[in-house]
Structure 1
Amino acid sequence: MTTPDDVAALVAEVEEQERTLVLPRFTHDDAWRLGCRLVELAAERDLPVTIDVRKGTQQVFHAAREGTTADNDSWVERKVRTVYRFGASSYLVGLRARAKGRDFNETHGLPLQEYAAHGGAFPVRVDGVGIVGVVTVSGLAQADDHALVVEALRELVPPPA
């Protein structure tokens, strides 16, 4: 069972990821490379995931591996809406609600069919600009969806000067 201290530690960890995973730019080619890298990682590990990368509201990359269904596409849409509405990863939004002992959808009066505060969608931030897109993985446990996105994004972030 997850304790309140565990949730608080996860919130701090994900907040730090969001502070540090900031890109110098994000082009359509970058979005495509990020999506392809996620597909490579999923193929290497035989993961049944759907991968989605957006620049603004435009879907630049979308792939579904064996073992996924159209339901994963619905999860992607719901997670993406959560990122754009709250300006944070879908995992962080959900963790913050849990830390307060609240149900995300009830607290915000949002329909479950449109918003999901479950891990897997991460804001793509550009230095000096802010959020310019969203990268999403759906198909695994929420912490694993989130971790896969973070792993791929880390490869795009230049090392600190």
Structure 2
Amino acid sequence: MTDAPMTVLADPAVIAEEFAEALPGTFTHADAIAVGEEIVRLARSRDLAVAVSVMLGDHEVFRLALPGTSTGNDAWIRRKRNVAELTGEPSFLVGQRLAARGLGPVTPEMPEADYAPHGGAVPILVDGALLGSVTVSGLPPQDDHALVLEALRGALPR
């Protein structure tokens, strides 16, 4: 990976609005499992090769890698999740803000070894508190992000 400018794929304001609309009012252990299962259901119905991780605090409540994924997806999950948990914003939003400024993914606050501001990790905020995160790896950045939001909307009550 280099620090070449990232590609603008979506308007950061739209990403932020969609994120805010997808956030649940609560997030329990059962909710974490339901979101993970919804991602797997959606991925299987579309024949998508993705790896999924759902965190509740520091506990990985749900983890699954569908056929066609690799250990590389595990590394992407860790790095994207680190971005979402550091910033309290979706990794796709962080990356698209950098891209809109003509910047690359590497910043002093987010070294490439531990952070990847690419789509797929969404923090779970309830009343402003970070309760967990949902991360998908395996698709293009905007598609990883969209799959997480779709599963949040489909699995959890608003």
C-alpha distance in 1 between matches for 2:110 and 2:89: 16
Q: Secondary structure, in 3 states, of the residue corresponding to 2:47?
A: coil
Distance 1:45 1:104, change over 3 A: same
Structure 1 residue 9: Cα displacement = 5.5
| Residue of structure 2 equivalent to 1:150 | 149
Give, in whole Å, the separation in 1 of the partners of 2:148 and 2:65.
15
Query: What SS does the corresponding residue of 1:104 show, helix, strand or coil?
Result: coil
Superposed CA deviations along residues 114-152 of structure 1, whole A, max 9, x for unmatched, are 1000000011122x2432110011000011100100111
The structure whose RCO (Cα within 8 Å, separation 6+) is larger is 2
In structure 2, list runs of 5 or more residues that go unmatched.
1-6
CA contact (8 A) 1:21 1:125 kept: no
User: Where does the alignment leave 5 or more consecutive residues of structure 1 unmatched?
Assistant: 1-5
Amino-acid identity (%): 43
TM-score between both structures, scaled by the size of structure 1: 0.88
| Structure (1/2) with the larger helix percentage | 1
Matched residues, number: 152
Offset of 1:154 from its aligned partner? 1.2
- DSSP-derived class of the 1:25 partner: coil
Structure 1 distance, partners of 2:123, 2:109, is 22
- 1:14-49 CA distances to partner (integer Å, 9 max, x unpaired)? 110122122121111110011011100001011000
Cα distance change, pair 157–98 in 1 and its aligned pair in 2 (3 A):
same
* One-letter identity of the residue aligned with 2:28: T
| 1:8 shift after superposition | 9.0
Distance 2:32 2:118 in 1: 22
* TM-score (structure 2 length as normaliser): 0.89
CA distance in 2, matches of 1:50, 1:8: 22
Q: CA RMSD in A?
A: 1.8
1:104: how far off?
2.8
State the structure with more CA Rg. Answer: 1
Q: Aligned partners of 2:111, 2:73: CA distance in 1, in Å? A: 17
CA contact (8 A) 2:38 2:155 kept: no
Q: How many angstroms does 1:111 deviate by? A: 2.4
Which secondary structure does the structure 2 equivalent of 1:119 belong to?
A: coil
- In the other structure, the counterpart of 1:29 is 30
Tell me the distance in 2 between the aligned counterparts of 1:130 and 1:70.
Answer: 31
Q: Give the match for residue 3 of structure 2.
A: none
